[in-house]
Amino acid sequence: MGCNCSNQSACHAEAKKNQYLPAIVSLLMLLAGITMNHFGLFTLPGSAFIWYVLAYLPVGLPVLKEAIQGLRRKELFNEFTLMSIATIGAFCIGEYPEGVAVMLFYSIGEHFQEQAVGRARKHIKALLDIRPETATVIRNGETKEINPREVSLGETIEIKAGERVPLDGILQTEQASFNTSALTGESVPRTLRRGEPALAGMIATDRVVRLTVDKPYDQSALSRILAMVQDATERKAPAELFIRRFARIYTPVVVGLAVLIVLLPFLYSLLTPSFGFVFSDWLYRALVFLVISCPCALVVSIPLGYFGGIGAASRVGILFKGGNYLDAITKVNTVVFDKTGTLTQGVFNVQRIESVLPGGDAELLGYIAAAEQKSTHPIARAILRYAEEYKNSGTLHRELCSGATPCRGGVLLRPDEQCQVEEIAGNGLKAIINGKEVLAGNSRLLKRFHVAYPAALDEIADTTILCAVDGRYAGYLVLADEPKPDAKLAIRELKQLKIDNIQILSGDKQEIVSNLATDLGIRQAYGNLLPEGKVKHMEALKADPANCVAFVGDGINDAPVLALSDVGIAMGNLGSDAAIETADVVIQTDQPSRIATAIRIGRATRRIVWQNIGLAFGVKFIVLLLGAGGLATLWEAVFADVGVALIAILNAIRISDYGRKHLSKETGAAGNQTDSHAPADSESNDAV
């Protein structure tokens, strides 16, 4: 029957009240029954039995129903069966209050467990709630509010200050500030400029902005985050899988032992007549044994611990794709970094341009910009940005612009069909522009096509993009990148976690990579690597069984290495879709220091899980022995069982705030990034 309340909060309150009503009724009747029994008010035969049965039914019927359904599914041994046998057995030997109490406190424990699981899922529900239900689309010069699912690619949407972005798109406004906390956990606003991507879930903070939609609703960044976190619950950690297998064996063994507690003394009494066997006493001990052996604390608290860890990580912009990866990251002792966009900002600036073409620097820039027009690599973005500024200054060579139409980045080029571009992985780009063959990339690209160039260019320490036109060297650009503000902190934090084997793999020049490694305090750095070179290096690391390797990258070229590593970590805020899909962990903030946070959350989760395992087994073992020896009653058994379960659940919930506590320490040490830019899609000298 549906809820007829006038608002959601009233419905929720009524549902909560109805949830606890059976337990309240049973508790009141149990207390009244104990009082009446104390004063001898149960004078009619069977009156006590009837009273306690009525007290038992509100909490007992749902459990009995679950037990019967389990039997129909051929699940003979589960917690519902244990509780049903124990409580019915208590009634059979006249221990009515104990029978009601066992089921009552078990029921209360179940409600607490449900609340704990609900709290662990709260963050996911919050994410679901932030997806806007409407989008303001501009059609035929007019604004119209429609469902975001109905917005087509290429349409323009408008977001007012304070509103959430409903769909991923490219910013058309010159500049705007966005609150990205829903996606990254980062409270500091991020400034985006025209042409940069804005993601669903961000909040426009300072002005009305317009975006050109480039992804459908179901493929937006926020939708992908939700899918990742929700799917994570299906990937179980080894401890969870072990408990599941253990419970299947443990429960029937416990039932068998309970039977033996009654059967063995009976058989012994047949052999030894002097041994006084009292069936009700030994059955009572068996029932105590059954109650305390219920595996609730393990079955609930362990998955809850991992789910809490996943939730804690997601609140600080770290997405684990499953509890198994949360567990795996605790074993990492080797961390290998990609360079561009991972340890560096991936925001290049053109420092110098040298041309041997008749049209000088402007002609060279025009050719390279034409080749790079469809690339999303940070080097390409830097070149196009520089070309845009160059064009606006009125000095861009006009031969390439004659009779042309605007292409990407604002650079005037021949129509797109004449700008044929071929990507050569790890080398650069080959393009046909105005009928001329243009090569733009690293020195390997020119060597591959047997184009001679000045040997002195190989000595330049910074990133260089060489260009050839129709098989002849045309000139080069020099670009520079900077380390991310928290890159040093990331390395320092990893070393504090006793992870000393830290390496860099890069397609960039060895000198550039070595200089960065020295600056960050990394001893091993390898440059001039093609994608297959990174794979071979990773295979060599994996060949040593002592190494548990995490690879951190963001580009398309990183996908094979991410898949090969024990734990693949992608810089995922604006990184390559291929890298994000392949990785096991996604760092939404693009901050390498969050890797140490991820490891800490993983270790804290694992520690809490094993605390719960030790607590449950320790207490249960002691009380099981006491129950078998007749030194523990059903009251003690039920309090021990429910108490251990509640302590384990509360312990598991502790992980929920762990991420934010450690994040506050890190941001205090490193400072927040006020304006982080898009990460790279691959190494700077890989395919640009």
Inter-helix orientation angle 79-92/279-292, to 10°: 150
Helix, coil or strand: residue 349: strand
Predicted confidence at residue 688, as pLDDT, reads: 35
- Of 565 and 645, the one with more pLDDT: 565
- Of 219 and 28, the one with more pLDDT: 28
pLDDT bracket for residue 652 (50, 70, 90): confident
Among 552, 581, 603, the domain-final residue is 603
Residue 129 has pLDDT above 70, yes or no: no
C-alpha closest to that of 681 among 583, 490, 553, 591: 553
The tokens describing 236, both together, are: 């179980």
Q: Is residue 616 part of a domain?
A: no
Q: Is residue 100 part of a domain?
A: yes
Predicted confidence at residue 51, as pLDDT, reads: 95
C-alpha closest to that of 109 among 20, 216, 182, 4: 20
pLDDT bracket for residue 176 (50, 70, 90): confident
Q: What is the pLDDT of residues 574-622, one digit of tens each?
A: 445 556 677 888 887 788 999 999 999 999 999 988 898 888 888 878 8
pLDDT bracket for residue 672 (50, 70, 90): very low
Looking at residue 507, which CATH number applies to its domain? 3.40.50.1000
Q: Is residue 597 part of a domain?
A: yes
Residues 41 and 108 in one domain: yes
Among 217, 248, 275, the domain-final residue is 217
**Rounded mean pLDDT, 459-479:** 90
Q: What is the pLDDT of residues 228-266, one digit of tens each?
A: 555 655 555 565 566 666 667 777 887 888 889 889 999
C-alpha closest to that of 317 among 555, 593, 603: 593
Please state whether the predicted TM-score (pTM) of the whole model is above 0.85. no
pLDDT bracket for residue 449 (50, 70, 90): very high
Residues 335 and 395 in one domain: no
Alpha helices in 329-375 (DSSP H): 360-372
Q: What is the pLDDT of residues 78-87, one digit of tens each?
A: 778 877 887 8
Predicted confidence at residue 602, as pLDDT, reads: 92
Predicted confidence at residue 230, as pLDDT, reads: 58
**Rounded mean pLDDT, 398-413:** 37
Residue 418 has pLDDT above 70, yes or no: no
pLDDT bracket for residue 1 (50, 70, 90): very low
Residues 330 and 383 in one domain: no
The tokens describing 267, both together, are: 């058989």
**Cβ pair 330, 433 in contact under 8 A:** no
Question: Which domain, by its residues, includes 183?
Answer: 135-217
**Rounded mean pLDDT, 391-417:** 43
User: What does the alpha-carbon distance between residue 183 and residue 339 come to, in Å, rounded to a whole number?
Assistant: 24
Predicted confidence at residue 175, as pLDDT, reads: 86
Residues 330 and 392 in one domain: no
**Rounded mean pLDDT, 212-216:** 90
Predicted confidence at residue 231, as pLDDT, reads: 60
Predicted confidence at residue 242, as pLDDT, reads: 65
Q: Is residue 236 part of a domain?
A: no
**Rounded mean pLDDT, 67-83:** 80
Report the domain count for the chain: 4
Residue 15 has pLDDT above 70, yes or no: no
Q: Is residue 412 part of a domain?
A: yes
Residue 488 has pLDDT above 70, yes or no: yes
User: What does the alpha-carbon distance between residue 426 and residue 115 come to, in Å, rounded to a whole number?
Assistant: 52
**492: region left, alpha or beta (phi > 0 left; psi from -120 to 50 alpha):** alpha
**Cβ pair 482, 347 in contact under 8 A:** yes
User: What does the alpha-carbon distance between residue 423 and residue 374 come to, in Å, rounded to a whole number?
Assistant: 11
Looking at residue 160, which CATH number applies to its domain? 2.70.150.10
pLDDT bracket for residue 413 (50, 70, 90): very low
Greatest CA separation for the chain:
117
Integer angstrom CA distances of residue 202 from 132, 150, 187, 192, 681: 11, 20, 11, 11, 22
Predicted confidence at residue 117, as pLDDT, reads: 60
Q: What is the DSSP letter of 483?
A: B
Q: Is residue 628 part of a domain?
A: no
Candidate ranges 99-108, 315-324, 519-528, 663-672; pick with highest mean pLDDT: 519-528
Residue 485 has pLDDT above 80, yes or no: yes
Residue 680 has pLDDT above 50, yes or no: no
- Of 677 and 414, the one with more pLDDT: 414
Residues 492 and 459 in one domain: no
Residues 488 and 592 in one domain: yes
Looking at residue 452, which CATH number applies to its domain? 3.40.1110.10
Predicted confidence at residue 578, as pLDDT, reads: 56
Residue 161 has pLDDT above 80, yes or no: yes
Residue 556 has pLDDT above 70, yes or no: no
pLDDT bracket for residue 181 (50, 70, 90): low
Q: Is residue 272 part of a domain?
A: no
End-to-end CA distance of the chain: 60
Residues 159 and 192 in one domain: yes
Predicted confidence at residue 401, as pLDDT, reads: 38
Residues 335 and 362 in one domain: no
The tokens describing 618, both together, are: 């320790």
Residues 394 and 476 in one domain: yes
Residue 410 has pLDDT above 70, yes or no: no
Helix, coil or strand: residue 423: strand
Residue 519 bears catalytic tag: no
Residues 412 and 431 in one domain: yes
Q: How do strand 501-505 and strand 334-337 relate by DSSP bridges?
A: parallel
Q: Is residue 369 part of a domain?
A: yes
pLDDT bracket for residue 553 (50, 70, 90): confident
Please report, rounded to a whole number, the percentage of residues in the chain having pLDDT higher than 70.
Answer: 78
Among 94, 120, 146, the domain-final residue is 120
Length in residues, the chain:
688
Residues 529 and 595 in one domain: yes
Predicted confidence at residue 16, as pLDDT, reads: 56
- How many CA within 13 A on the CB side of residue 268? 13
Residues 468 and 507 in one domain: no
Helix, coil or strand: residue 211: strand
User: What does the alpha-carbon distance between residue 602 and residue 13 come to, in Å, rounded to a whole number?
Assistant: 35
- Of 414 and 425, the one with more pLDDT: 425
Catalytic residue among 327, 338, 554, 641: 338
- Of 532 and 676, the one with more pLDDT: 532
